[in-house]
Amino acid sequence: MTEMTEPGIWQEVPSPFCGIASDDLVIKVDGNNVTILENGDAITKAGFETAITDLSPRINGKDVPLDEAVSYAAQLIRDAKQPVIGGLATDLNGCRAAMALADKSRATVDNMDSTPTFRNLLVLQDTGWMTTTLTEVRNRVDVLLVVGTDIESDFPRFYERMVWNKESMFNQDIESRQVIYLGKTPSGDASTSPKGKKAQVLACDDADLPEVLSVLRALIKGKQIQAKQVGGLAVSDLDALAETLKQAKYSVVTWSAGNLDFDHAETSVQMICELVKDLNLETRSSGLPLGGRDGAMTANQVSAWQSGYPMRTNFSRGFPDYDPYLSDSNRMLANDEVDTLVWVSSFNVQRTPPQSLAKTIVIGRSGMTFEQEPEVFIPVGVPGIDHVGRTFRLDTVVSIPLRKLRDSGLPSTHDVLTAIENAL
């Protein structure tokens, strides 16, 4: 359990920032200053160590008391014809409060990472998938196929925690694990085994991935391929990859939808998921969609159980109205369809609202700076630093309790959104 073992020193602190919810961090808290002493990485260091700057809410740039900011925000939402609650980077109770507010104010809900998330969700809703979770990977993976993704830049500790761990529960020789990249080349050495075995790389451009994946799936299914080359790769190399996957006892095919940044990448995700299903006719194989940083999974989970639908759901008709295209908040904002935007961003000060003509209320992490001062800014605490909370990991199965590490006096997103709802 996250606990203070000596004054100011916290053990087993979970990270709500990194998507894999690493919970072995050792953290020092001195007043409002937080320092990771052990097991930090670029993502979690920025997450935990960003300093508090603002403590006061602002209306049009002028400091005001919290209740004034809340009632002003409520007024903006009351006057809005098409409000959007976007960003939605917060913890469980922040998401609950956002859903309640959206329901009452007939707003649209969307998450800042929906564009990549929906590359996966559209597949889930169309054909489904077979997936696994991090502890299974840690103990069972024998072949890891990484598709179109540079894991370590977004998930710096993935290999350390899930692939090159010291031991497997099933006495697997960890060194025997094979890592194969298809598409992007890894940016560093995280995928290199402890004894120095480098990952195999079958490099191709993102633009060629749809074709390459189609051929790989065809080969797995035993189809004849006439071409010798696809996307600059030798078909014989893909055939060898197909054979490796078929021979594997527990292969894991992973991708980060954020890295598959091309039009209709969902069809490539679908191809991955279908080839995993094909492999499972004879052996075991699982997909592992990476993502879920800054609470993206939490927002979709809470929305799904409270409304039946994930993000991109609109309450303007009084009931949940799901449309992954029409209710894409980026599209709506770019098209000037939104008159009031509530931007919730309690984890990362870099994640500010997109430029738009909408009146903007930012419920944001203290330390955020804006090119264009929003109508209302209410600085809030960070779940897992300033207040307790819970967050879902990328595999959506495991959620983790977040502790309060310091007493900054900043309100939680839940408290602010609930106050706004009550003031409507």
Task: Return the residues of window 379-398 that contact other proteins according to CB under 8 A.
Answer: 388, 390, 392, 396-398
With contacts defined by CB under 8 A, name the span among 39-47, 108-116, 164-172, 405-413 that binds other proteins.
164-172
- Smallest separation, CB 254 to other proteins (Å): 14
- Residue 315 has phi, psi (to 5 degrees) of -105, 15
Which of 66, 225, 240, 400 is the binder for other proteins (CB under 8 A)? Answer: 400
Pick between residue 1 and residue 227 the one whose CB is nearest to other proteins: 1
The reply to whether 14 sits near other proteins by the rule CB under 8 A is yes
Closest CA to 135 of 398, 404, 360, 420: 398
Give the per-residue contact string, 261-280, with other proteins (x = CB under 8 A; - = no). -------------------x
Which of 50, 93, 356, 408 is the binder for other proteins (CB under 8 A)? Answer: 93
Which of 32, 39, 125, 153 is the binder for other proteins (CB under 8 A)? Answer: 125
Question: Which residues between 166 and 205 bind other proteins (CB under 8 A)?
Answer: 166-170
Pick between residue 3 and residue 63 the one whose CB is nearest to other proteins: 3
3-state secondary structure 281-302: CCCEEEEEEECCHHHHHHHHHH
Pick between residue 105 and residue 268 the one whose CB is nearest to other proteins: 105
Beta carbons within 8 Å of 151's beta carbon, 6+ residues apart: 158, 159, 186, 190, 191, 254, 256, 290
Which of 50, 117, 286, 366 is the binder for other proteins (CB under 8 A)? Answer: 286
Which of 41, 113, 136, 150 is the binder for other proteins (CB under 8 A)? Answer: 136
Pick between residue 75 and residue 396 the one whose CB is nearest to other proteins: 396
Pick between residue 208 and residue 321 the one whose CB is nearest to other proteins: 321
DSSP designation for 393: -
Which of 283, 335, 350, 355 is the binder for other proteins (CB under 8 A)? Answer: 283
Pick between residue 2 and residue 366 the one whose CB is nearest to other proteins: 2
First to last CA, the chain: 39
> Quick one: tokens of 80?
């809005």
- Taking the C-alpha atoms of residue 10 and residue 34, their distance in angstroms, rounded to an integer, is 10
DSSP designation for 344: E
Q: Looking at this protein, which amino acid is placed at residue 142?
A: D
Instruction: Calculate helix-pair angle for 235-247, 209-220, nearest 10 degrees.
Output: 50
Q: What is the Cα Rg of the chain in Å? A: 23
Neighbours of 333 (CB within 10 A): 21
Pick between residue 92 and residue 230 the one whose CB is nearest to other proteins: 92
- Total residues contacting other proteins (rule CB under 8 A)? 71
**172, 153 in Cβ contact below 8 A?**
no
Q: Which bin fits 196, alpha (ψ -120 to 50), beta or left (φ > 0)?
A: left
Beta carbons within 8 Å of 174's beta carbon, 6+ residues apart: 164, 165, 166, 167, 168, 193, 194
Question: Which residues between 294 and 353 bind other proteins (CB under 8 A)?
Answer: 300-302, 304-310, 315, 317-322
Which of 130, 174, 201, 240 is the binder for other proteins (CB under 8 A)? Answer: 130
The reply to whether 44 sits near other proteins by the rule CB under 8 A is no
Which of 103, 110, 150, 328 is the binder for other proteins (CB under 8 A)? Answer: 103
The reply to whether 105 sits near other proteins by the rule CB under 8 A is no
Pick between residue 139 and residue 244 the one whose CB is nearest to other proteins: 139
Would you call 388 helix, strand, or coil by DSSP? coil
- Smallest separation, CB 208 to other proteins (Å): 27
Closest CA to 99 of 320, 361, 272: 320
Pick between residue 128 and residue 194 the one whose CB is nearest to other proteins: 128
Instruction: Name the helix (H) or strand (E) containing 63.
Output: strand 62-63
Q: Looking at this protein, which amino acid is placed at residue 112?
A: M
Give buried/exposed letters for 124-136 (b at 16+ CB in 10 A, else e). beeeebebbebeb
DSSP strand pairing (83-89 vs 108-109): parallel
Which of 96, 177, 351, 365 is the binder for other proteins (CB under 8 A)? Answer: 96
- Taking the C-alpha atoms of residue 252 and residue 31, their distance in angstroms, rounded to an integer, is 43
Give the per-residue contact string, 202-241, with other proteins (x = CB under 8 A; - = no). ----------------------------------------
Which of 129, 153, 201, 331 is the binder for other proteins (CB under 8 A)? Answer: 129
> Quick one: tokens of 285?
């194989």
Which of 35, 54, 115, 138 is the binder for other proteins (CB under 8 A)? Answer: 138
Question: Which residues between 22 and 41 bind other proteins (CB under 8 A)?
Answer: 23-24
